[in-house]
Structure 1
Amino acid sequence: MIFETAIIVIYTFAIVMIFFYALAQLNLLFNYLTAQKEKNKAPKFDLDNPDEVPFVTIQLPVYNEMYVMERLLDNIAEIKYPEGKLEIQVLDDSTDYSLKLTAEKIKELRARGLDIKHITRTDRGGFKAGALKEGLKTAKGELIAIFDADFLPEDDWLLRTIPYFKDLEIGVVQTRWGHLNRNYSLLTKIQAFALDAHFTLEQVGRNSKGHFINFNGTAGVWRKTCIIDAGNWEGDTLTEDLDLSYRAQLKNWKFKYLEDVETPAELPVVISAARSQQFRWNKGGAENFRKMMWRVLKSKNISAKTKVHGVLHLLNSTMFLNIFIVAVLSIPMLYIKNEYAHLRYYFYIMSFFVVSTVIFFVCYWFMFKQIYGSGFKKFFEYIVMFFTFFSIAMGFSLHNSIAVIEGHIGKRSEFVRTPKFNIKTLKDSWKGNKYLKGKLSPNVIFEGLLMLYFGFGLYSAFVVGDQGGDFGLFPFHLMLFIGFGYVFFKSITSKV
C-alpha cells in the first residue's frame, strides 16, 4: 500500500495545484470583465505639440533572419512619428549571409533619409538581452520600442502607444499580439488560441488591478530610465523580458497594457519551431520563478493579493509539469480506485476537481467571443477549439515538463531562437527553410510511447473492476491519446 499511497499523495498535490491555478484564472476573468466597463482616463502626450514629443529609439534585435529581414525593415520604415524624433537600431547578431543583405538594405533606407544604424557584435554574449543592452549604450531615445523580426506594426503604432508615457510612473507600454497566419494550420490555430488567452484574459486581468504583468519581449515600449533603474537587461534566464519586467515592477514602475492596439506577427508553422519556442518560454518561466519568487514574497511595496498572483504567474509554465503528473498517474489511479473500496470517499472528493476544467472552459469562452464574436455557431466552434487546444497542449506536456524541470534545477542552456518563415497564406510553404534542423528530438519517441500508454488507459476503462468497467477518466485519456498522437506524428512527418 506504500506505493499506492505515494501515487495518491503526488496525484492529489498536482491536481490541487491545477485547481488553485484555475481559481486564479477565474479571478482574472472577473478583473477582465470589470475592466471592460472602465473608461481609460490616463493622461497622454499631445504629439501635435512639438514640446511634448519624446525622442524614440526602435530596437530590432535579430539573428540570422534571412527570410523576414527585408519585410521587417520595409515595414518599420513606414512607421509615422514626428520628424527628427525617431531613430532605428538594427541589433544584428547574425552569422550568415543575412548580415550582408541587411547591411545593404540599411544603406538603402539611410539614403532615403531614415535615421537607422546597423549595430553588430563579434561576441553574442547574453543573446537577445546582450544585444538590447549593447544598443542601449548609444540609444538616443528616452523611450525604447522593441520589435522581433516577425512583427509588423501598423504605421500609426507609435502614435497610439507613446502618448501614455506622459505619466512619469509608466515604465512600459505593452500591446496585444495579432497573428498574420492564424488559419494556416491546426498548429497555428492552437498557438493563436493560447496566446489570445494570455493577451486578453491574463494581461488585462492582472494589469487592471495593479498586479504584475510582463513585457512580452516585443511589440512594446520601455522608458530608458526604467530599464536602467531596474538593473538593465540580464541574460541569466531564457526569458529576459519576464525577468526585467518583475525587477522593474518591484521598483514600483507601472506597466500599461493596451488590448486595443494589435501588433501582427507570424506564428511558427512547423512543430519543431513551436517546440523550440515552447521550450524556451517554459524553461525561462521556471528560471524566473527561482530568481524572483523570494523577491516578490519579501517585497513590502505590494499587496498580498499581488504577491499571490505574481507567484502563480511565475509558476505558469510549471502547470505543464502538474498536468503531466496527473496524466501519467491517472491510469494507476484508475486501478487503485477499483481495487480499494475503502477509498471511495476520497475519489468522491477528488471528482470535485473536475471543476478546474469547467473554470478554464468558461474563462476561455469570454476570450474567444471577445475576438471572434458570440452566437450559437461561434459557441460550437469554441467547444471544438477548446478541446482540441487542451488535447494538443497536453500532448506537449512531456516536452514542456522537461523544460520546466531544467529551469527549476538551474541547468543552463543556449538561447535558441525560433526560425521565421515569412508565411502569411496557405499557399506559402515552409519547406526549404535553411534554419530548420533535420534532427528529431529523442523526446518524440517517448511521446509515441505515451500515446500507446494512454491508448492502454482507454482499454482499461472497459476492463477495470468487477462492475463492467469505469469510464470516468475515458474522456481525459482520449484527449491525451489524441494530443500525444498529434505531437508524435506531426513531429515524425515534418522530419524537423
Structure 2
Amino acid sequence: MQIQYLWRKTRSLVLLPVFKGLVIMCLVLSIIVFFESFYMNIVIFFGKLLRRKPEKLYKWEAMQEDVEAGSENYPKVLVQIPMYNEKEVFQISIAAVCSLLWPSSRLVIQVVDDSTDPVVREGVDIEIAKWQSQGINIRCERRDNRNGYKAGAMKEALTHNYVKQCDFVAVFDADFQPDPDYLARTIPFLVHNPDVALVQARWIFVNANKCLMTRMQEMSLNYHFKVEQESGFTRHAFFGFNGTAGVWRISAMDAAGGWKSRTTVEDMDLAVRVGLHGWKFVYLNDLTVRNELPSKFKAYRFQQHRWSCGPANLFRKMTMEIIYNKVFFCHYASFDPHLTVTDWSRFIPSLV
C-alpha cells in the first residue's frame, strides 16, 4: 500500500506535469511548422503568379564563342566528382560528367577518389583512361590518408596548380548524373552576376519507386527542394548548398575559408560562411540532376543521422559568428523603410 501511494503521488506530481509540458511543446512546434509551411507555400504561389523566374531576377545570357577568340571567352570550369568505394555507380557519373557540353579546352574534370577498395580504384583508373583516350581532360586525385573525409579530399584537390586557372567548380557526388546542358544553363548566372557565388539545381530520383522507403524519401526531399529551397530563393533569403549538383565561384569559396571538416555537413558550413560574406545564391527549380536514394535502411539511417546531427553541431560552433557578423546584422536586423515587400518577408521566417 505504501509503494502504491508513493507511485500515485509521483505520477500526479512529477510525471503528469512533465508529459503535459511535452505535449504542449509538441503542439506549439506543430503550429509553428504549419504556419511556416503555409507561409512558404504562399511565397511560392505569388512567385509563380508574378513569374519570378531566375532569368528575370538575375542577368542571364547564353555563352557564345567569340569570332576571333573562339572558345577562349568561355570561363574555365572545374568539375569535381568526390567518391568513396562507389563500386556500382562511378561509371555512370563519370560518363554523365564527360558528356557535358562545354569547350574541352575550358573544362577540367577531377575525380576525387578516396576509395580504399583496390578493385574500385582499379575500375576508376580504367574508366578515366577510357575517357582520356577520347580527348576528355579528366584526371584522378588521390590521397594517402582520409583526413577530413569528403571536405578534406575536395579541399586538397583544389590546391593543385591547374585548378588556379579555373573560375568555377561544379560538384557532383558519385551517384549524380547531370544533363549535358547543365553547365550551359548555370554558368551564365555566375558570369553575368559578379555578386552570385552559387547556382544550385534540383535533385530528382531514378529509384524513387523501388520501395516504400524510397518513395517516402522522395516526398520529403521534394518538399525540401520545391517548397523550402524555392521559397527561400524567391524572397531573396538564405538557402543552403545541398552538397552536390551545384556550381561555386571559387573566389567566393576562398574568401570564406574554403571547405572545412569540423562537422559532418561541410556543404551547409560552407554555404553559411559564404552567405555571411554577403554573396548571393541562385536556385534553379527547372534544372534537375538525376541521382539515387538509399534503398537500404542502414544507409538511410546513416544519412539521416548525418543530416540531423550535423546542423545542430554547426549551429553550436557558429552561433556567435552569425550574431556578430556585420553583413548579417545590416542585412537582416536593419529596419530600412525603403525595403520592398519581398525584402520585409525575410523577417517572418526569422521569427519562426
Shift of 1:52: 4.3
Note if 1:241 corresponds to 2:267.
yes
Task: Give the 3 Å change call, closer, same or farther, for CA 108–259 of structure 1 in structure 2.
Answer: same
Note if 1:214 corresponds to 2:240.
yes
Q: How does 1:201-280 map to 2 (within 5 A)?
A: 201-280=227-306
Q: How does 1:262-411 map to 2 (within 5 A)?
A: 262-298=288-324, 299-304=328-333, 306=346, 309=349
CA contact (8 A) 2:62 2:184 kept: no
- Structure 2 counterpart of 1:148: 173
- Structure 1 counterpart of 2:21: 9
Of the three residues 22, 25, 28, the one matched with 2:37 is: 25
Shift of 1:248: 0.6
Of the three residues 114, 118, 129, the one matched with 1:107 is: 129
Question: Structure 2: how far apart are the matches of 1:55 and 1:44?
Answer: 18
Task: Give the 3 Å change call, closer, same or farther, for CA 51–112 of structure 1 in structure 2.
Answer: closer
Question: Structure 2: how far apart are the matches of 1:194 and 1:95?
Answer: 32
Note if 1:132 corresponds to 2:165.
no
Secondary structure, aligned partner of 1:103: helix
Secondary structure, aligned partner of 1:171: strand
Task: Give the 3 Å change call, closer, same or farther, for CA 100–310 of structure 1 in structure 2.
Answer: farther
Identity of aligned residues (%): 33
Question: Structure 1: how far apart are the matches of 2:295 and 2:242?
Answer: 20
CA contact (8 A) 1:172 1:220 kept: yes
- Structure 1 counterpart of 2:106: 85
CA contact (8 A) 1:230 1:247 kept: yes
CA contact (8 A) 2:80 2:170 kept: yes
Question: Structure 2: how far apart are the matches of 1:284 and 1:19?
Answer: 25
Shift of 1:279: 1.0
Amino acid at match of 2:75: P
Question: Structure 1: how far apart are the matches of 2:256 and 2:346?
Answer: 19
Shift of 1:114: 0.9
Of the three residues 158, 165, 169, the one matched with 2:183 is: 158
CA contact (8 A) 1:296 1:310 kept: no
Question: Structure 1: how far apart are the matches of 2:150 and 2:34?
Answer: 33
Task: Give the 3 Å change call, closer, same or farther, for CA 29–296 of structure 1 in structure 2.
Answer: farther
Task: Give the 3 Å change call, closer, same or farther, for CA 33–297 of structure 1 in structure 2.
Answer: farther
Secondary structure, aligned partner of 1:84: helix
Task: Give the 3 Å change call, closer, same or farther, for CA 311–242 of structure 1 in structure 2.
Answer: farther
Amino acid at match of 2:317: K
Task: Give the 3 Å change call, closer, same or farther, for CA 284–190 of structure 1 in structure 2.
Answer: same
**Per-residue deviation, residues 397-438 of structure 1 (Å, max 9, x unmatched):** xxxxxxxxxxxxxxxxxxxxxxxxxxxxxxxxxxxxxxxxxx
Normalised TM-score (structure 2): 0.84
CA contact (8 A) 1:252 1:301 kept: no
CA contact (8 A) 2:72 2:106 kept: no
Question: Structure 2: how far apart are the matches of 1:95 and 1:307?
Answer: 47
Question: Structure 2: how far apart are the matches of 1:309 and 1:229?
Answer: 28
Secondary structure, aligned partner of 1:290: helix
Shift of 1:30: 1.4
Note if 1:56 corresponds to 2:70.
no
CA contact (8 A) 2:241 2:267 kept: yes
Shift of 1:72: 1.5
Task: Give the 3 Å change call, closer, same or farther, for CA 311–252 of structure 1 in structure 2.
Answer: farther
Question: Structure 2: how far apart are the matches of 1:310 and 1:233?
Answer: 27
Shift of 1:29: 1.1
Shift of 1:307: 6.6
Normalised TM-score (structure 1): 0.60
Amino acid at match of 1:81: W
- Structure 2 counterpart of 1:441: none
- Structure 2 counterpart of 1:73: 94
Unaligned runs of 5+ residues in structure 1 are: 313-496
Shift of 1:81: 0.5
CA contact (8 A) 2:104 2:136 kept: no
Aligned-pair Cα RMSD in Å: 1.8
Shift of 1:273: 1.4
Shift of 1:15: 2.5
CA contact (8 A) 1:60 1:91 kept: yes
CA contact (8 A) 1:297 1:307 kept: no
Question: Structure 2: how far apart are the matches of 1:136 and 1:296?
Answer: 27
Amino acid at match of 1:301: C
Secondary structure, aligned partner of 1:300: helix
